[in-house]
Amino acid sequence: MKPLWSLLYCAALLVSDTMATYHLSPGDPQLMAAQSYAQSRINRQQPIRTLNPAKTDAQCRSRPLDLVFIIDSSRSVRPGEFEKVKIFLADMVDTLDVGSDATRVAVVNYASTVKIEFLLKDHSSILDMKKAISRIEPLAAGTMTGLAIKTAMNEAFTEQSGARPRSKNISKVAIIVTDGRPQDQVEEVSAAARAAGVEIYAVGVDRADMRSLQQMASLPLEDHVFYVETYGVIEKLTSKFRETLCEVKAEVMVDPCKCEARLAFQKQTQTAIQQLTTKLADMSGRMERLENMLGQA
């Protein structure tokens, strides 16, 4: 009977090791891979919302946020168009309940390089914030969107820069505005940001690459991806974001695609268990042959 008990003991250890190997936690590479898998599945299914300029929404009081705008000021964004982006930011600030105990705002400006215009801790009044926005200048050159997202995570969404700790239950939101195709990778860095609890909205203008917007945004895409044909109408998005950022929920979305990630995890686990079952059957056969040989000896 000893060989049988040894077999069962080995099987238990293998199952334990398998489950430990596929354990998921925020920031774990397995979770980011699962999110990327889920995101790619949804990308093929979800429609993209196009703005209806005639639609308006009633004003409302925003829930407390740690909000970071990530704005494209590459060569393709003309000076007059960049001014439209700044007007959009100013209008957005007007709709928010800005304050150290309410919504905190930061702006990350990017092209080939990335510049943090101001941090979450820098301005606690709407007037000061709008003055800071008016002083932003375009950086020109390329479109390093992935680098901008990574910089926002490493330098803007930190407690040292004014972000509230997770225990405060304050939602963290990034709004990315771009009119082009990223010159670097955005999928993995965006998955890492979402896994860390940041809800991402992607706003595309004119020549913006739709696939990249989908890779960056949180799920469901129909609520997180926006497109406008020109910078001349981007201000109209203010009403849509006013509705989205209303005080309708306060929970932190630590894993925006938890259900899809769980499905991906289950698929991985089932494959691993099937492989384990095959190995155990082979091991059982070998041990049975060994017992027969020992019995004959």
The string of pLDDT tens digits covering residues 139-148 is 988 999 999 9
pLDDT in tens, 167-218: 999 999 999 999 989 999 999 999 999 999 999 999 999 999 999 999 999 9
- The answer to whether residue 115 scores a pLDDT higher than 60 is yes
Identify the pLDDT of residue 52.
42
Tell me the domain boundaries of the chain: 50-244
pLDDT in tens, 56-97: 333 446 679 999 999 999 999 999 999 999 999 999 999 888
How far is C-alpha 111 from the chain's CA centre? 20
Residue 47 has pLDDT above 90, yes or no: no
Answer with the residue of higher pLDDT: 183 or 20.
183
How high is the pLDDT of residue 295? 74
% of the chain residues with pLDDT over 90: 55
Flag whether the pTM goes above 0.95.
no
- Out of 176-180, 231-235, 278-282, pick the least confident: 278-282
- Any idea what DSSP says for residue 232? G
Predicted pLDDT at 153:
98
Angle between helix 29-43 and helix 187-195 axes, rounded to 10 deg: 110
**Mean pLDDT, the chain, whole residue set:** 80
**In the sheet where 65-72 sits, what is the strand order?**
49-50, 225-228, 198-205, 171-178, 65-72, 104-110, 114-118
Take residue 271 and report the two structure tokens written for it: 């494959």
Cis peptide before 182 (omega within 30 of 0): no
Give the count of beta carbons closer than 10 Å to the beta carbon of residue 107. Answer: 25
* Strands (E) located in 121-245: 171-178, 198-205, 225-228
Q: Does domain 50-244 have CATH number 3.40.50.410?
A: yes
